[in-house]
Amino acid sequence: MIEKTYLKTKPQCKVKFVLPADAVGTAKKVSVVGDFNNWDDTANPMKKQKSGVFASTLNLAVDAEYQFRYVLNSTDWMNDDMADAFVPSPISHESNGVIQL
């Protein structure tokens, strides 16, 4: 799930990335990676909530598109079904999710 909250005082959008417990399975470490953090799985770790979901909130510039994915346990990559679009990954045969702000 992706929640977008546009800020009135800045040209930014507060984007909350959420992965349900059943999508994460037994993963202990979950990160959101993308254009906004140079695909670094240590830059934006997601925190496990009491409900079992993993979540992370980022402030991203508006009037932009960002490719992103999730990384589980530093090895397994997955997309968010709620992405605004999908594009072919330039480094694999998979797709990257796109968020449009």
Q: What percent of the chain has a predicted confidence (pLDDT) above 70?
A: 100
How far is the C-alpha of 72 from the C-alpha of 48, rounded, in Å? 12
Delimit the domains of the chain by residue range: 2-100
Mean pLDDT of 21-43: 94
Q: Are 73 and 28 in contact (CB under 8 A)?
A: yes
Q: Into which CATH architecture does domain 2-100 fall? A: Sandwich (2.60)
Q: Note the pLDDT of residue 78.
A: 94
The sign one gets for the Cα dihedral 87, 59, 55, 36 is: positive
Please state, rounded to an integer, the average pLDDT across all residues of the chain: 94
Instruction: Give this prediction's pTM.
Output: 0.93
